[in-house]
Structure 1
Amino acid sequence: MSRPAHRRPEYHKINKDLFVLTYGALVAQLCKDYEKDEDVNQYLDKMGYGIGTRLVEDFLARSCVGRCHSYSEIIDIIAQVAFKMYLGITPSVTCNNSSKNEFSLILDKNPLVEFVEELPAGRSSLCYCNLLCGIIRGALEMVHLAADVTFLQDRLKGDSVTEIGITFLKKQDEKKYRRKK
């Protein structure tokens, strides 16, 4: 028996809210388990990486996106399709260099911090949403794209925006993607 189409967004919202609440509890537990913020950040990145390596298959199957021919196309797919599909937001994209291999995703709204007002006391270097960086890095690696993904700005740390920086580490071979005539 199939589910009515009109009920899917409701299930998606419930799953997102559950994820956000569970994520907050996870970060709180990691802060209890690890004294250093760097250890918590590293653990969140590692956990996100594992999620990203598995999530990319679901994303490719559900989104029906085609092959991308440039880094800017890849970033647009991440922002407009992946973030919308899994977190219900669409970050804006900026290119940060003339080589067109460094980009920023600007999140006007970050669902992972919906129930968080500030970082825990004494945790000023905690990167609360570092899981997102690991997810992006893991997913990109599974499609053979090495990237450095880091938080550049974070509203939880008093910045005006939340910004994720993505730097592709290898120049894409444009000849590889040209169509044969």
Structure 2
Amino acid sequence: MSRQSNRTTDSKKMNSELFTLTYGALVTQLCKDYENDEEVNKQLDKMGYNIGVRLIEDFLARSSVGRCQDFRETADVIAKVAFKMYLGVTPSVTNWSPAGDEFSLILENNPLADFVELPDNHSTLVYSNLLCGALRGALEMVQMAVDVKFAQDTLRGDGVTEIRMKFIKRIEENLPAGDE
């Protein structure tokens, strides 16, 4: 019986490492295809956004999480459920703004950045920018407009990876005329 669980753990670790290496190959190719880091950052954000738009449906189906009542509850669900489910890590939610409309996700370990060192000629590359796009896309699908960006990154020598999220507005559903 213990042999079976070891196989499952090994399989998850192998899948995680394969994903990390594949993501690294994607970023490398983008760096070759685009002239500067800003363009690569935009492409990673755009790809992440498209992933988030599609991923939210899977997340809602698999997690059985209901509608969040406020931004604080949304932050907890992102950290404790979504990141754990898809990346196997649980970031801490901290640095709330006084208005309660902005917070930080602190990742002690960023699984996308395993085995990665940024070359000197890519000092403005936001390597894990896919995460920002995915968060923005997923939340937009549940009627929340947010601004998401990296504030700190271990790949740039910071002690932790910090993703800063700011609530912009609730998106009103536009119903066709007569469907109210």
Superposition pairs of residues 92-107 of structure 1, within 5 angstroms? 92-107=92-107
Q: Contact 1:149–1:164 (CA<8 Å) still a contact in 2?
A: yes
| CA shift digits 1:50-80 (9 cap, x unpaired) | 0000000110111111121110100100000
Normalised TM-score (structure 2): 0.87
Structure 1, gaps ≥5 residues long? 174-181
Change (3 A) 1:171 1:155: same
Amino acid at match of 1:140: L
Give the Å deviation of 1:120: 2.0
Give the Å deviation of 1:110: 0.5
Amino acid at match of 1:168: F
Q: Contact 1:47–1:131 (CA<8 Å) still a contact in 2?
A: yes
Q: Contact 2:143–2:171 (CA<8 Å) still a contact in 1?
A: no
Change (3 A) 1:16 1:130: same
Number of the residue aligned with 1:158: 157
Distance in structure 2 (CA, Å) of the matches to 1:54 and 1:45: 14
Give the Å deviation of 1:6: 8.3
Distance in structure 2 (CA, Å) of the matches to 1:102 and 1:7: 41
Amino acid at match of 2:112: L
Q: Contact 2:151–2:162 (CA<8 Å) still a contact in 1?
A: yes
Distance in structure 1 (CA, Å) of the matches to 2:6 and 2:114: 25
Number of the residue aligned with 1:44: 44
Distance in structure 2 (CA, Å) of the matches to 1:100 and 1:121: 37
Number of the residue aligned with 2:134: 135
Distance in structure 1 (CA, Å) of the matches to 2:5 and 2:124: 43
Q: Contact 1:102–1:167 (CA<8 Å) still a contact in 2?
A: yes
Structure 2, gaps ≥5 residues long? 173-180
> Aligned pairs, how many?
169
Number of the residue aligned with 1:109: 109
Q: Contact 1:70–1:172 (CA<8 Å) still a contact in 2?
A: no
Superposition pairs of residues 15-34 of structure 1, within 5 angstroms? 15-34=15-34
Change (3 A) 1:54 1:172: closer
Q: Aligned residues: percent identity?
A: 62
Which secondary structure does the structure 2 equivalent of 1:151 belong to?
strand
Distance in structure 1 (CA, Å) of the matches to 2:19 and 2:151: 24
Number of the residue aligned with 2:120: 121
Change (3 A) 1:22 1:101: same
Distance in structure 1 (CA, Å) of the matches to 2:19 and 2:128: 13
Give the Å deviation of 1:171: 6.2
Structural RMSD (CA): 1.9
